[in-house]
Amino acid sequence: MAAMSDELPARVVITGGATGIGLAAAKLYVEAGSSVGLIGRNEENLDAAVAQLGPTAVAHSADVGDEAALKTAVDDLAAKLGGIDALVAAAGTEGALGVKIEDVSAETFMMTLQVNVLGVLLAAKHALPYLKRSPGASITSVGSDSGFVAVAGMIDYNASKGAVVQMTRALAVELFDEFGIRVNSVCPSIVDTPMTRRALGDELLDNPTYPLMTPEDVAVSILYLSAYRARALNGVNLLSDFGYSGRSSFPA
């Protein structure tokens, strides 16, 4: 990725940056010459990530659903980085899996939306003052193929990722026309991350019967969407599912 360094944003803030897709993206940005600011809830994971990434990485602990804490984190990282050129909203939760609608609780449903939807909105809201000062700024969120297709027992997750798809379009229209800020999302199928292993179990992921993405696969798409040469890409929800959603259900 080093050859792309002059084409990528110099200062990137990543929510959910201590593990999984967020950390994989942070590694690629650092390799390309960018400085990164990480936001996450677990301070131990953040410290480990910064140690791994080196001196061009900084971090601040915050829950993306807590507006005051998130604003403080964004402001602190912007000060340390000297501004923000790109935001990557990678924080997410799997919600309640295998739970049918009769057993879905309002508390769990709203908690999933608070992280997966409100967390993206708040990160964009509080990064905006800094992004407005940066020519070619962008926001890239991590959605899911679950924003396009559904599986029984994943109502809250499907609803949250469907909201991310439409919020990407809404923010893209609003922020590009006024400020020239591009907003896109990557929407992968199943990715081998700590969150996925927590949700589905090691056995299923160690012996998959379907194509399995790595965090690095998704990170490459994140960097592509934030690259300055991708300036025409706005409001894109990049579905990355090995083409499975394009398959016909016709029994032949």
Give the catalytic positions in this structure: 157
Helices (H), 54-118: 67-81, 106-113
Q: What is the DSSP secondary structure assignment for residue 213, as one 8-state letter?
A: B
Is there a contact between 107 and 155 (Cβ–Cβ < 8 Å)? no
CA atoms within 13 A of residue 45's CA, in its CB half-sphere: 16
DSSP E strand boundaries for the chain: 11-15, 35-40, 57-61, 86-89, 138-142, 182-188, 237-240
Instruction: Compute the residue count for the chain.
Output: 252
